[in-house]
């Protein structure tokens, strides 16, 4: 049987994730104290095994559970008998602030006169043991609800098929490196289409941008080297029983070079690893 533990910061999308997992066939439980996880799994394992894909449990700061510090011990005990995956959801502070302001909901730690900003910072500290145990770190800062749902569906479905779920993600360094990256490549050494007036408004998905980049030998050399390295490394990650791997490809703005290279690498990798997903974090959508 499979157990997914959904955790992370308040406002990062955990409830939406739990709803998606329920739609995927998981038996879902929200806001369960850590100390009760083992008991719940023991009681439900036989019936769930027959009727559901597994169990998904949301654990977060609302439990006010001293067991957070002992989370790793609980996890190790569970892992002796079932397949456990910890998914940690987070978003940057501006995104969390905006979400709380839009929904007019109070942060669970904002009582006693504590500001929203201070509550977010305190929560990060308290959740460090959970973040340290995560198998998959999900940064929802730039995700729409639809994109988050699609992301979860792709990664959970791939790992359910006993294959490591691989995500190739483009991004722009000016918005910060993605916190969920396992491997990162910097494309800022490539010729920049931004300085070509006709290419500036386009993206790395446009044929004209692709032609410009591929006209430079360094682009093809970098592409070949990255694919060769990943093809060699990925089986080692798989052998270590990893369920998820995120490969981040960055350039300055996340619009041209990183988008092109992420598309190219994902396409090349799929010849050997069909479970490769693709995401463009900072590429303009219109």
Q: For residues 19 and 136, state if they share a domain.
A: yes
Q: For residues 151 and 248, state if they share a domain.
A: no
Q: For residues 94 and 26, state if they share a domain.
A: yes
For the stretch 45-59, pLDDT in tens is 777 665 688 899 998
Distance CA 220, CA 261 (A): 10
CA 42 to chain centre: 29
Number of structural domains found in the chain:
2
For the stretch 196-248, pLDDT in tens is 999 999 999 999 999 999 999 999 999 999 999 999 999 998 888 787 899 99
Q: State yes or no: pLDDT of 256 exceeds 70.
A: yes
Sign of CA dihedral 176, 152, 248, 79: positive
Distance CA 234, CA 264 (A): 17
Q: For residues 17 and 122, state if they share a domain.
A: yes
Q: For residues 133 and 76, state if they share a domain.
A: yes
Last residue of a domain, one of 107, 141, 162: 162
Residue 286 resides in a domain: no
Q: For residues 126 and 211, state if they share a domain.
A: no
Q: For residues 170 and 157, state if they share a domain.
A: no
Residue 6 resides in a domain: yes
Q: For residues 211 and 265, state if they share a domain.
A: yes
Cβ atoms of residues 269 and 231 within 8 Å: yes
Bridge partners of 283? none
Q: Supply the CATH number for residue 108's domain.
A: 3.40.50.300
Last residue of a domain, one of 162, 182, 211: 162
Task: Go through the chain and tell me how many residues it has.
Answer: 286
Last residue of a domain, one of 136, 162, 188: 162
Q: State yes or no: pLDDT of 181 exceeds 80.
A: yes
Cβ atoms of residues 161 and 238 within 8 Å: no
In the chain, pLDDT over 70 holds for what percent of residues? 94
Q: For residues 142 and 26, state if they share a domain.
A: yes
Greatest Cα pair distance in the chain: 64
Judging by beta carbons within 10 Å of its beta carbon (0-12, 13-18, 19+), is residue 193 exposed, middle or buried? buried
For the stretch 208-221, pLDDT in tens is 999 999 999 999 99
Give percent helix, percent strand, percent coil of the chain, each to the nearest 5: 50, 20, 35
β-strands 54-58, 165-172 pairing: unpaired
Q: For residues 173 and 219, state if they share a domain.
A: yes
Domain span at residue 106 reads: 2-162
């Amino acid at each position: 049987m499979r157990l997914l533990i959904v955790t992370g910061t308040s406002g990062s999308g955990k409830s939406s994730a739990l709803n998606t997992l329920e739609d995927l066939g998981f038996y879902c439980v929200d806001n369960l104290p850590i100390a009760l996880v083992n008991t719940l799994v023991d009681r439900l394992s036989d019936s769930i095994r027959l009727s559901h894909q597994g169990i998904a449990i949301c654990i977060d700061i609302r439990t006010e559970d001293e067991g957070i510090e002992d989370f790793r011990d609980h996890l190790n005990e569970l892992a002796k008998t079932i397949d456990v995956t910890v998914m940690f959801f987070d978003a940057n502070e501006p995104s969390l602030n905006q979400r709380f302001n839009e929904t007019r909901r109070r942060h669970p730690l904002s009582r006693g006169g504590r500001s929203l900003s201070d509550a977010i910072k305190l929560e990060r500290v308290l959740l460090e043991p959970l973040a340290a145990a995560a198998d998959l770190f999900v940064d929802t800062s730039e995700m729409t609800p639809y994109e988050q749902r699609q992301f979860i569906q792709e990664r959970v479905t791939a790992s359910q098929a006993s294959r490591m779920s691989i995500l190739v993600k483009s991004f722009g360094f000016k918005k910060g490196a993605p916190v969920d990256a396992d491997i990162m490549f910097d494309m800022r050494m490539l010729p920049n289409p931004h300085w070509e007036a006709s290419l500036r408004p386009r993206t790395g998905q446009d044929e004209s941008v692709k032609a410009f980049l591929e006209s430079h030998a360094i682009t093809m050399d970098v592409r070949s080297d990255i694919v060769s390295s990943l093809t060699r490394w990925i089986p080692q990650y798989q052998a270590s029983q990893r369920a998820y791997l995120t490969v981040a490809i960055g350039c300055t703005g996340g619009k041209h070079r990183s988008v092109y290279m992420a598309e190219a690498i994902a396409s090349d990798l799929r010849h050997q690893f069909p479970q490769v997903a693709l995401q463009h974090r900072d590429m303009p959508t219109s």
